[in-house]
Amino acid sequence: MDSRPIKEREKDGLKTRTEVLGKVWVDKSQANVDDFNREFTEFLHTTCWNDIWNRPGLSRKMRSVLNLGMLTALGKEHELKLHLRGALNNGVTKDEIKEVLMQAAIYAGVPAAVAAFRCAREVFASKE
């Protein structure tokens, strides 16, 4: 566990989030931080984006692959689109994404995979 002061961990988490999801999206998201969600956003940066994403043992690419499978299974299309962009930023190829979604079809169900393939096509089209 990272024992540095929380503000350092939060700063590094924001940096990681920006590297994975892209500056444009993170800046837009940060513009929506207010008194109501500030503490939650700080928690995400500190815990999710620093303490978990920066752990040794798995590459960012592997973490992205895992997220694609989990978000597909959960049917969380908004987050899936974000993490599809992140996966591409982390070096996951379109062919690898296709294989993740094929695998998810068996374990998470065809309807979940249909939605995920649709999300992937939208993300791919927006990046071209």
Residue 60 to residues 34, 53, 79, Cα–Cα distance (Å):
29, 7, 17
Cβ contacts of 93 within 8 Å, gap of 6 or more: none
Percent of the chain surpassing pLDDT 90: 94
Q: What's the rounded mean pLDDT across residues 100-113?
A: 98
Q: What's the rounded mean pLDDT across residues 20-28?
A: 95
pLDDT score at 126? 94
Q: What's the rounded mean pLDDT across residues 82-94?
A: 98
The answer, yes or no, to whether residue 113 has pLDDT greater than 80, is yes
- Domain borders along the chain are 1-56, 59-128
pLDDT score at 6? 86
pLDDT score at 85? 97
pTM score of the predicted model: 0.91
Q: What is the DSSP letter of 37?
A: T
Quickly state the pLDDT bin for 2 (edges 50, 70, 90).
confident
Of the candidate CATH numbers 3.40.50.720, 1.10.150.170, 1.20.1290.10, 2.30.110.10, the domain formed by 59-128 belongs to: 1.20.1290.10
